[in-house]
Amino acid sequence: MTEASSGGTIVVTLNGDERDVPAGLTVSGLLAHLGLHERLVVVELNREILRRDRYAEAPVNAGDTIELVQFVGGG
Amino acid sequence: MTVAEMLEKIDEPLELAGRKFRSRLILGTGKYKDNETMVRAIEASGTEIITVAVRRVDLDRTKEEGILYHLDPDKWALLPNTAGCYNADDAVRYAGLGRAAGFGDWIKLEVIGDQETLLPDVEGLLEAAGTLVANGFKVLAYTNEDLITALKLEQAGVAAVMPLASPIGSGLGLLNPFNVRLIKSRVSVPVIVDAGVGTASDACVTMEQGVDGILMNTAVAAAKDPVRMALAMRYATESGRLAYLAGRMPKREQATPSSPTAGMLD
For residue B227, being part of any structural domain is answered with yes
- What mean pLDDT is reported for chain B? 94
Measured between alpha carbons, how far is B182 from B237 in angstroms, rounded to an integer? 20
Report pLDDT digits (tens) over B156-167. Answer: 999 999 999 999
Query: What is the pTM (predicted TM-score) of this model?
Result: 0.91
Cβ within 8 Å, pair B67-A73? yes
Helices (H) and strands (E) in chain A, counts: 1, 5
Domain range annotation of chain A: 3-69
Q: Cβ contacts (< 8 Å) between B47 and chain A: which residues?
A: none
Per-residue confidence band for B7, with pLDDT thresholds at 50, 70 and 90: low
Q: Could you say which of 3.40.50.410, 3.40.190.10, 1.10.540.10, 3.10.20.30 is the CATH number of the domain covering A3-69? A: 3.10.20.30
What amino acid positions of B are annotated as catalytic residues? 108
Cβ within 8 Å, pair B68-A70? yes
Question: In chain B, how many domains are there?
Answer: 1
* Burial class of residue A67 in the structure, from the number of CB atoms within 10 Å of its CB (0-12 exposed, 13-18 middle, 19+ buried): buried
Cβ within 8 Å, pair B216-A14? no
For residue B251, being part of any structural domain is answered with no
Q: Of B52, B169, B195, which is closest to A71 when you measure between CB atoms?
A: B52
Question: Can you point out the beta strands (E) in chain B?
Answer: 14-16, 19-21, 25-28, 49-56, 77-80, 106-109, 138-143, 160-163, 192-194, 213-216
Pick A60 or B103 by higher pLDDT: A60
Provide the β-strand partners of residue B162.
Answer: B142
Q: Of B32, B55, B218, which is closest to A69 when you measure between CB atoms?
A: B55
The domain of B213 spans 3-56+66-246
Cβ within 8 Å, pair A74-B96? no
C-alpha closest to that of B203 among B3, B8, B26: B26
Per-residue confidence band for B62, with pLDDT thresholds at 50, 70 and 90: low
B19-21/B14-16 β-pairing: antiparallel
Structure confidence at residue A3 (pLDDT)? 43
Q: Is B183 left (phi over 0), alpha (psi -120 to 50) or beta?
A: alpha
C-alpha distances in Å from residue B240, one per residue of B10, B208, B232? 14, 5, 12
For residue B258, being part of any structural domain is answered with no
- Helix B122-134 to helix B147-156 angle (10° resolution) is 20
Structure confidence at residue B72 (pLDDT)? 87
Query: Are A27 and A37 a contacting pair, CB within 8 Å?
Result: no
In CATH, what number is assigned to the domain containing residue B151? 3.20.20.70
Structure confidence at residue B63 (pLDDT)? 62
**Which of B158-167, B205-214, B257-266 is least confident?**
B257-266
Q: Return the number of CB contacts < 8 Å for A and B.
A: 92
Task: Quote the ipTM score.
Answer: 0.88
For residue B163, being part of any structural domain is answered with yes
Query: Are B116 and B148 a contacting pair, CB within 8 Å?
Result: no
Looking at residue A38, what DSSP letter applies? G
> Is the confidence at residue B5, as pLDDT, over 90?
no
What count of residues does chain B have? Answer: 266
Q: Cβ contacts (< 8 Å) between A19 and chain B: which residues?
A: 59
Q: What is the largest CA-CA distance in chain A?
A: 46
